[in-house]
Structure 1
Amino acid sequence: MAQENSRLGPAEVVAAAQSDGKAHLLLACTGSVATIKIKQIILGLADYQNLSIRVILTASAAKFLTGENDEQPSLAEVRAMPNVDAVYLDEDEWGPQPWRRGANILHIELRRWASLLVIAPLSANSLAKVAGGFSDNLLTSVCRAWDTTPQADGTRKRIILAPGMNTQMYRHPVTARHLKVIEEDCGGPDGWIEVLRPISKALACGDVGDGAMVEWGVIVAGIEKRLGLTRVEGGAP
């Protein structure tokens, strides 16, 4: 992992990295056990040397990264993974220096920096927030500030959502409404959001049914497609 400049605040560091010539992946996890799949997603992109990854973890997502076994990485392990230049928690929005007028704002700088935002997993709670336009943490602030026109950033950048939740949460009529809002108002060929619908499998809670996040390989393939990453046979990408 590249070492960030500790003399600058998080927002200033992101602003300084805007024009580094790399593809920029903003990878976010929310409060679902599928957060532990972040390891496979990042390692699935490890061969791309011209890729910079910045990770956002909600408070609930961070609780799954305890490093108890090989499947469940620690926060320190995620920070040290290939191409990961930073991991952000909610408190990074406001620190470490006190807020001052005219200072860089982290959620705005992350939006400007990102070539693509991927939220995998997207919990039922965070799905509701995205659909309703809430912006009460770092991740949802990035989503709400996304350039949908695109007038600010000059290009329409994509968001990929990979929901992951309990079967009954997924089958709840409120979830259906939230997905309908996102897919009809923000998706399609003229939109900016792509939803990777959950699959059916045995869930961590013991239930068997739909609601599980798609396999990590599908997410990696979506990232490769949207960022135009290509593998060179017999050599590094």
Structure 2
Amino acid sequence: MQQDAEATCSKFDSATSSSSHFRILVGVTGSVAALKLPLLTTRLLELPGVEVRVVTTEHATHFYSPAEVPVRIYTDKDEWEFWKHRSDPVLHIELRRWADLLLIAPLDANTLGKIASGICDNLLTCVVRAWDLNRPLIFCPAMNTAMWQHPITAKQVAVLKEFGYIEVPCIAKKLVCGDEGVW
């Protein structure tokens, strides 16, 4: 395990020293919109000089097949497997150092609430909590219209914007549940 941690740290070091690439860390949460993750990562990789990695929440994995995602996916399990001893790398810190941009797409209501409240109980929310505020963080809320219209949602989005994070607003469409509205 120590060798695995050292290899991981070494991979991050070499990736960080590469100035020819722009590194995007995609956070994906438990919204049905997570089914678009394979398409999103494929499109990002089409951009010249872009490297992509994914941090997923457990609930997000219900909506996509990891085999269809052409980049490395990190889970909560990885956080604990990489760190065994005091001198081992801490994955959420290594990912924070690696990335030039954090894109959370989709951002479900649950994770929105956690981030706005400072809760960091999984790999993704730990990355966000440790995020360098001098680097961009873009979030794309995606939830049922009834959840979006709840008064707490606007307050939580405002908190993220106060941190300097950039919102990509929801779009209006027919939702998977059959409702018409924003998603």
More helix by proportion, 1 or 2?
Answer: 2
Contact 1:32 1:122 in 2 (8 A): yes
Q: Select 1:133's aligned residue among 102, 111, 118.
A: 118
Q: TM-score, normalised by structure 1?
A: 0.71
Identical-residue share of aligned pairs (%): 43
Q: Between Structure 1 and Structure 2, whose CA radius of gyration is higher?
A: 1
Report the Cα offset of residue 141 of structure 1.
Answer: 0.1
Quote the Cα distance in structure 2 between the aligned partners of 1:137 and 1:15. 23
State the match for 1:215 in structure 2: none
Deviations 1:50-80 (A, max 9, x none): 2211101100001112xxxxxxxx21221xx
State the match for 2:66 in structure 1: 75
Q: Select 1:93's aligned residue among 79, 84, 94.
A: 79
Q: Select 2:180's aligned residue among 199, 208, 217.
A: 208
Distance 1:48 1:176, change over 3 A: closer
Report the Cα offset of residue 49 of structure 1.
Answer: 4.4
Aligned residue type for 1:173:
P
Contact 1:116 1:158 in 2 (8 A): yes
Work out whether 1:55 is the aligned partner of 2:54.
Answer: yes
State the match for 1:197 in structure 2: 169
Unaligned runs of 5+ in 1: 1-6, 66-73, 149-155, 213-237
SS of 2:13's partner is helix
Q: Select 1:166's aligned residue among 125, 138, 144.
A: 144
Q: How large is the RMSD of aligned CA atoms in angstroms?
A: 1.6
Contact 1:11 1:105 in 2 (8 A): no
Unaligned runs of 5+ in 2: none
Report 1:152-163 matches (<5 A).
156-163=134-141
Deviations 1:165-214 (A, max 9, x none): 0010000011111112122x21xxxx3x101111111101111112x1xx
Q: TM-score, normalised by structure 2?
A: 0.91
State the match for 1:17 in structure 2: 15
SS of 2:18's partner is coil
State the match for 1:143 in structure 2: 128
Quote the Cα distance in structure 2 between the aligned partners of 1:19 and 1:113. 9
State the match for 2:159 in structure 1: 181
Quote the Cα distance in structure 1 between the aligned partners of 2:45 and 2:95. 21
State the match for 2:30 in structure 1: 31
Paired residues in the alignment total 178
